[in-house]
Amino acid sequence: MSFAFVFPGQGSQSIGMMNGYSDLTVAKDTFDEASDILKKDLWNLVTNGPDELLAQTVNTQPLMLTAGVAAYRTWLALGGTKPKVIAGHSLGEFTALVVGEAISFKDALTVTQVRAEAMQDAVPAGVGGMAAILGVDDAVIHEICLLAKEEEVLEPANFNSPGQVVIAGHKSAIERAVVIAKEKGAKRAVILPMSVPSHCSLLKDAADKLAEALDAISLSVPIIPLIHNVNAKPSNSIDEIKYALKTQMYSPVRWVDCIKSFIPYGISTVYECGPGKVLAPLVKRIDANLTGIAFNDYAAMKQTLDGVE
């Protein structure tokens, strides 16, 4: 059975999200390693919060990276084998790079911290926003953005599954888009509790800061094919990786295309590796022939491995 691993990004975090891994030394050791590198107690933060600190971009991004790496290391420690292909949603692409041995865990944490700070500084609080629109096709999403943006920025940010798209831009444009979306027949149009308008052109300056950080570290081509968000293709050179990571910050996450790109690899099952159950349910909506399973705790991994055996 050929399988793929996908890694979640910002939005899957919650207090206690690693409780399902707390009895495993490898997971705790991964958090200790990250805490030593970043000089902050990540395990305490993920276990006890508070929510307002957990939700800060500068904390959330290294936390989600660490959680994904901890989960993958647990999979290997339990006897799991390497996936045939990998991808990560937004920030999760950095987790995938670590898993694909294209970047060290230490460098990934350092770059992620720069990325998070640059994103948080790029747009003043209260200026930007994001909204989820459900139940209309992509052409209608583009129409909504054109109608609502006026003289501001408003763009598709995440094509998560057919009929589930996130848009990003100026807060006032987001508010107009929610109203227009309902008029256009959207089943739901809801503003998300995020002040950073990820994956839109408001983050181009932040992307330049990320590019500088990437130039300062060592990168290599992944040993496992890694499908990038911006073009749903694997990278074949270091320059391609840098370009994909930089442009990802101000370009939409083409998650539907990423999952479809697994098909030529003979994939039948996609495992979401990390806390939460955000990506796994999207898999079958994108392709009915695929199965999505969330490894949000040790028990789910063990059950899967026992089933394989």
Catalytic (active-site) positions: 90, 199
At 92, list the tokens: 């999760």
Give, in degrees to the nearest 5, the angle at Cα 295 between 168 and 156: 15
β-pair partners for 271: 5, 293
- If you search the block for the tokens 């695929």, which residue do you land on? 290
Whether the link from the prior residue into 50 is cis, omega within 30° of 0, is: yes
In the chain, which residue ranges form alpha helices assigned H by DSSP? 25-38, 42-48, 51-54, 57-77, 92-99, 105-122, 138-149, 171-183, 204-215, 238-248, 255-260, 280-286, 298-308
The DSSP symbol for 271 reads E
Distance CA 12, CA 200 (A): 20
Axis-axis angle for helices 105-122, 92-99 (nearest 10): 170
Distance CA 9, CA 17 (A): 13
Which residues have C-beta within 8 Å of that of residue 223, sequence separation ≥ 6? 100, 101, 102
Q: Cα separations (Å) of 33 from 109, 136, 148?
A: 10, 44, 46
- Rounded to a whole number, what is the largest CA-CA distance in the chain? 59
**Beta-sheet pairing, 269-273 with 3-7:** parallel
> How many residues are present in the chain?
309
The number of beta carbons lying within 10 Å of the beta carbon of residue 192 is 15
